[in-house]
Amino acid sequence: MLKQYLSEALEQAKGRQIGVFGYGLFGAVAYCALEALGVDPCCFYDTELKRIHSTFYGKPIKGIWECERDSVFIIDVFKDPRFMDDYALENGLVEGEHYSSLHGVFRYEKLEMVDPLLTNNRNDDVPGFTFIGERTGAEEPYTIVTLGGSTSDCNYGSITCWPVLLHDILSERGVNNVVVSGGVLGYTSAQERDKFLRDVVPMKPDLVVSLSGDNDIGWTHCNPERNHYARYLEDQIVEPMYRYCLKGNEKIRYGLNEEMSDAERWYRNHRIVHAVASEFGIAHMCFLQPCIVADAYRMSDFELQWMSKIKEEKIATRLFDNYPAFYLEATKLMNPAEGFVDLTDCFSSCSGVYLDGVHCDERGNRMLAERIADEILQMKDRA
């Protein structure tokens, strides 16, 4: 699907040079994928002054305001839609004529809530949760709460997410169900754990399901219990409020940081969820999510091309250096008796489902939902 969307954008460009708006992993994927299609992007665009005039993959990083729209067509992979939408509105840019957002597959809805415990959240049907399905009829529906990061976030990108598909699949199989989607982009297992303890237990669902793993990998440079997104909360609220007491060497504390591997921490956090869920009569299942470097996945020729190119920049270090070790250890630690299920073989029979190495197209999300539905039904039969 990434190849299809990029090809559509190149047709809209009508021979103009290509600039990529978005700096980071998505920008790297777009750049390398364009090169695999025989296109040499001229530059990257960004919104932050501190990044301007540096280079990425040997190409200059310019301010988005420097774009010459008559000679450069923009491929927009900037995750937050406000920047491109506001810039386009102010400068008369038309999607499909001056830029392409690739059908919005990399975009997410704004995280409009500051949550002191979870660091960010959304105000959906109820704060932090989207309800999929209706509580109608005489029979009380089987209620499933889903947790995870962006791959489980119903407000991330334009691809139908697996919680929506899970609801549809279970309904087709005769299960009267409501899925309460609580996945939020960037959430680690520590945030899933805290969200479960604070918000899910009071909901009293029948089952809590997590698709998890990716966001726990490679963040050992900070306290994983705090999460890297917490710096926004710290910089904008916590430090300004308490600066009067931050004298000399005093520091804001976010708890103890126990030394353990990423896989051990991920496993322990979900064991805590499993134990508490059992105490409150809630079934629990944690699915180890697949990714493009999982051994069972066979990359397409296009994926092999952009994956080989992306190695040239350190932005992809996590994908190549941290992921294999995490998955090897996690699969050894997982105990099915504690609700863990390994989904890293979910795409072993196909290729070409990944947009960026972690997020899937709708075919991939449907395959995930089918497998998760199978496991849920088997669990219900055993109960």
- DSSP collapsed to 3 states, the chain: CHHHHHHHHHHHHCCCEEEEECCCHHHHHHHHHHHHCCCCCCEEEECCHHHCCCEECCEEEEEHHHCCCCCEEEEECCCCHHHHHHHHHHHCCCECCCEECHHHCCCECCCCECCCCCCCECECCEECEEEECCCCCCCCCEEEEEEECHHHCCCECCCCCHHHHHHHHHHHCCCCEEEEECCCCCCCHHHHHHHHHHHHHHHCCCEEEEEECHHHCCCCCCCCCCCCCHHHHHHHHHHHHHHHHCCCCCCCCCCCCCCCCHHHHHHHHHHHHHHHHHHCCCEEEEEECCCCCCCCCCCCHHHHHHHHHHCCCHHHHHHHHHHHHHHHHHHHHCCHHHCEEECCCCCCCCCCCECCCCCECHHHHHHHHHHHHHHHHHHHHHC
pLDDT value of position 48: 79
145 in Cβ contact with 180 (< 8 Å): yes
pLDDT value of position 161: 96
pLDDT value of position 137: 64
pLDDT value of position 333: 96
Antiparallel, parallel or unpaired: β 142-148 and 340-342: unpaired
Domains and CATH numbers, the chain: 2-104 (3.40.50.20), 130-226+256-382 (3.40.50.1110)
Residue 223, burial from CB neighbour count under 10 angstroms (0-12, 13-18, 19+): middle
pLDDT value of position 220: 47
- Euclidean distance between CA atoms 153 and 182, whole angstroms: 7
The token pair at 247 is 């004298």
Residue 79, burial from CB neighbour count under 10 angstroms (0-12, 13-18, 19+): middle
Mean per-residue pLDDT pooled into runs of 10, the chain (383 residues): 94 95 88 95 88 87 88 91 84 92 87 81 89 80 96 92 98 96 92 96 97 83 57 67 61 72 94 97 97 86 91 76 89 94 94 91 96 96 83
> How many Cα neighbours within 13 Å face the side chain of 113?
13
379 in Cβ contact with 325 (< 8 Å): no
Q: Which amino acid is at 208?
A: V
213 in Cβ contact with 288 (< 8 Å): yes
Q: Rounded to an integer, what is the distance from CA 46 to the centroid of its chain?
A: 21
- Euclidean distance between CA atoms 136 and 272, whole angstroms: 33
